[in-house]
Chains A and B, each alone.
Chain A
């Protein structure tokens, strides 16, 4: 089955630790995205990538980093510089970065900082 997988589903982190969230897609999509969702708020874009080895900051990139070494993978690292990292993180992909294209979402990772 084609789709987007995110792991782990739940993640707990101690303050001061970096943590990496995995996102893999087998849809052969060029573009991939990371969003953060907080209760009662819409999704906010952290980073996006339109092509391998290239990515751009979204609206709330501070305290996060990404890489795009392979077309199918777009991992997100939440660093200790992110002041309030507890949230639900969603990865998405689209065939190419075009305004009419649907974005397909993974099931999400819920990160909790202890």
Chain B
């Protein structure tokens, strides 16, 4: 079945550092890929998405490119801020419309 594997955390960075969170997936067809963010005590918010190969999703300085050849959708941000501290989830959606989530990566940015 469909599955998502993302890098384990926690990840601790200094402000203005470069952030990468790796995400790889297993799917039988052509899934849509998502990154969601969860701030403490809250629900999830969509950060960005890509629906076909080579699409690049971007939002709030974050980017991720749908790489079918490597089945990956790595999240990157060039200069993080303290406000980026959160849990980040990679997810995919395929024919049955459900979202399959990775385990989440906790990111802490220190001033």
- Which residue numbers of A lie inside 8 Å of B, CB to CB? 4, 6, 31, 33, 40-45, 48, 50, 58, 90, 92, 94, 97-108
Q: Which one of A4, A33, A40, A99 contacts B31 once the chains associate, using CB atoms below 8 Å?
A: A99
The interface size of chain B toward A, counting residues with CB under 8 Å, comes to: 25
In Å, the complex CA distance between A48 and B93 comes to 14
Q: Is the CB of B101 within 8 A of A42?
A: yes
Is B103's CB within 8 Å of the partner chain A? yes
A99-B42 contact in complex given A40-B103, A41-B103, A45-B99, C-beta closer than 8 Å: no
Q: Give per-residue flags for B75-96: 1 if the beta carbon is below 8 A from chain A beta carbons, else 0.
A: 0000000000000010101110
Q: Is the CB of A48 within 8 A of B98?
A: yes
Is B45's CB within 8 Å of the partner chain A? yes
28 contacts between A and B (CB under 8 A): A40-B103, A40-B104, A41-B103, A41-B104, A42-B101, A42-B102, A43-B101, A44-B101, A45-B98, A48-B97, A48-B98, A90-B43, A97-B97, A98-B97, A99-B51, A99-B93, A99-B94, A99-B95, A99-B97, A100-B49, A100-B51, A101-B97, A102-B34, A102-B49, A103-B99, A105-B36, A105-B44, A107-B42
| Residues in A neighbouring B51, C-beta threshold 8 A | 99-100
Among B45, B51, B98, B102, chain A packs the most CB atoms within 10 A around the CB of: B98
Chain A residue nearest to B106 (CB atoms) is A40
| Residues in A neighbouring B103, C-beta threshold 8 A | 40-42
Is B46's CB within 8 Å of the partner chain A? yes
Q: Is the CB of B101 within 8 A of A108?
A: no
| Residues in A neighbouring B98, C-beta threshold 8 A | 33, 45, 48, 58
